[in-house]
Structure 1
Amino acid sequence: MNWESKQAQTTAQEQVRDYVAELQLHMTLQARNLVPSLTQARDSREQLLQETQANVEKMASRQI
């Protein structure tokens, strides 16, 4: 195998690895949107924190 074909194979593997990582992140974020929180917020501060975390995760998933 020559250098160019090894380089092409490495590049393809990196692209697949990146795609799989992005897909896993997307699926994790989607699952969080479908599953309600296991704990109820005890007060308005905790509820605000949960909502903020969910919003940040949604924004991060759309940046990919």
Structure 2
Amino acid sequence: MEKLRTYKDFSTLAVEMERAGAWATAEAAWQRAAIVARKSENEEWALNRQKMCAHYVKNPSRRPEVKHG
């Protein structure tokens, strides 16, 4: 597997993890995306997504239904 380095790399992984319902992994990927972001709006977006994922990790009953297929 290729090493993740850019905002796009980490944000793409985070989105895939959200779609799979892997909220803790998505949270970590968004955190890393925020760190490597070059644009302030990307950093802000990533931090907001990270907070959302953290909320779902702490409150499983509030998680959206994951649609497979």
TM-score by length of 2: 0.40
TM-score (norm 1): 0.42
- Higher-helix-fraction structure: 1
